Amino acid sequence: MKDRVLRRQDRPEPVLMLAVRGREPGTLIAVEASTPAQQAALLDPAERLPSDEPLAVLAPQRIPLPGGPWTWQPADRELPSALRSLHVVLVVGHYLPAGSLAVRWAGDLRADVVVVQHGLLTPYAPPLPHGATVLAFGDADLEFLRAGRNDLRGYVVGSQLLWNALQTSTARDTDAEAPPVYLGQLHGAEMGRSRKAASASEFLRDTGASYRPHPSENDILSRLQHERWRRRGITIDDGSIPLKDLDRPVVSIFSTGILEAAVRGLPAWSHYARPPAWLEAFWDRYGIHRWGDTPTLAPQTPSREPAQAIADHLLRSRR
């Protein structure tokens, strides 16, 4: 055990990359991964900022960024001189490398920390940084995030991810009787893998659904499970069709994809055999219907684009 602990402690810290546009940026955006959720929550707002607005982005590697020109450099743990004028940092949390470092720098400069919600919330969501401002999808999520906390400010801006899904809503008829696509979540830490696999197996067998692995299902245990299903004649979706282009019903446990599908006009449900109480509460909070019920209704979308609301908040914060 001691040897394993020592090996983990000796593991080198990840090297982050810092991109800077303009001189003395007042805003820093910390990106953890190139996923649709983080693109919507962090980089879509960056696109709504004025193109001549000085800006900095912290990321695990070089990523496409709006505007420019951008100057890239490796990020040390110490605050770079180029960021001495920071007033606000935008993060999805401080539990991963980029957000952790950004929040640390914000503390050094007494800059505002703004946490933008980028997905649906379970009770296992990491706690928020002390004194942060929260930009939430809706009133229920804001209440959930601030429960038991008197140090957090919060505003409702809506979900840019769902806003983007609305722009690709389908006008064509969808065959509600077609076998659904099951959006996998074997990677998630909220529930045991074996129970998730057993529940999915039962559903796939009974309905003829295909299984679409989550992009993070690339570990050996997930790949072995996919192979077991293939041997049983279950179709494993290769992901060649983007989620936004699916035209079949969608089922998952607690994936944001359920609401994305509902916004696009596709029949969408949740399914999990013998759900724990927190999962049922989660379904109720988001209005997600269970398999066998009527399809999930599309959630209300705000009148104002969330990315623009986030960008405007950043501009107000840094003045």
Residues 213 and 75 in one domain: no
Given this model, what pLDDT does residue 274 score?
A: 94
**Is the pLDDT confidence value at 236 over 70?**
yes
Q: Does some domain include residue 89?
A: yes
Residues 22 and 145 in one domain: yes
Cis amide linkage into residue 97, ω under 30° from 0:
no
**Is the pLDDT confidence value at 230 over 90?**
yes
Residues 193 and 239 in one domain: yes
Given this model, what pLDDT does residue 5 score?
A: 43
Mean pLDDT of all residues belonging to the chain: 92
Q: Does some domain include residue 295?
A: no
Given this model, what pLDDT does residue 289 score?
A: 98
Residues 33 and 139 in one domain: yes
Given this model, what pLDDT does residue 247 score?
A: 86
**Percent of the residues in the chain that have a pLDDT greater than 90, as a whole number:** 82
Residues 178 and 201 in one domain: yes
- Say which residue the tokens 């001549």 belong to: 52
Mean pLDDT of 111-123: 97
Residues 18 and 88 in one domain: yes
CA angle 210, 211, 216 (to 5 degrees): 160
Can you give the residue range of the structural domain that contains 312?
2-158+304-317
Residues 188 and 228 in one domain: yes
DSSP 147: T
Q: What six digits make up the tokens of 281?
A: 């509460």
Given this model, what pLDDT does residue 13 score?
A: 67
Q: Does some domain include residue 292?
A: no
Write the CATH number for 278.
3.40.50
HEC profile of 203-219 = HHHHHCCEEECCCCCCC
Residues 188 and 242 in one domain: yes
Q: Does some domain include residue 181?
A: yes
Mean pLDDT of 313-318: 88
Q: Does some domain include residue 224?
A: yes
> How long is the chain?
319
Task: Give the side-chain half-sphere CA count within 13 A for 69.
Answer: 2
Given this model, what pLDDT does residue 41 score?
A: 98
Given this model, what pLDDT does residue 2 score?
A: 41
- In this prediction, residue 164 has a pLDDT band, given cuts at 50, 70 and 90, of very high
Given this model, what pLDDT does residue 4 score?
A: 43
Contact 213, 236 (CB under 8 A): yes
- In this prediction, residue 233 has a pLDDT band, given cuts at 50, 70 and 90, of very high
- In this prediction, residue 170 has a pLDDT band, given cuts at 50, 70 and 90, of low
Count of the separate structural domains present in the chain: 2
pLDDT in tens, 278-295: 999 999 999 999 999 999
Residues 8 and 149 in one domain: yes
Mean pLDDT of 56-67: 96
Residues 33 and 136 in one domain: yes
Residues 84 and 122 in one domain: yes
This prediction has a pTM of 0.91
Residues 144 and 192 in one domain: no
pLDDT in tens, 192-212: 999 999 999 999 999 999 999
- In this prediction, residue 14 has a pLDDT band, given cuts at 50, 70 and 90, of confident
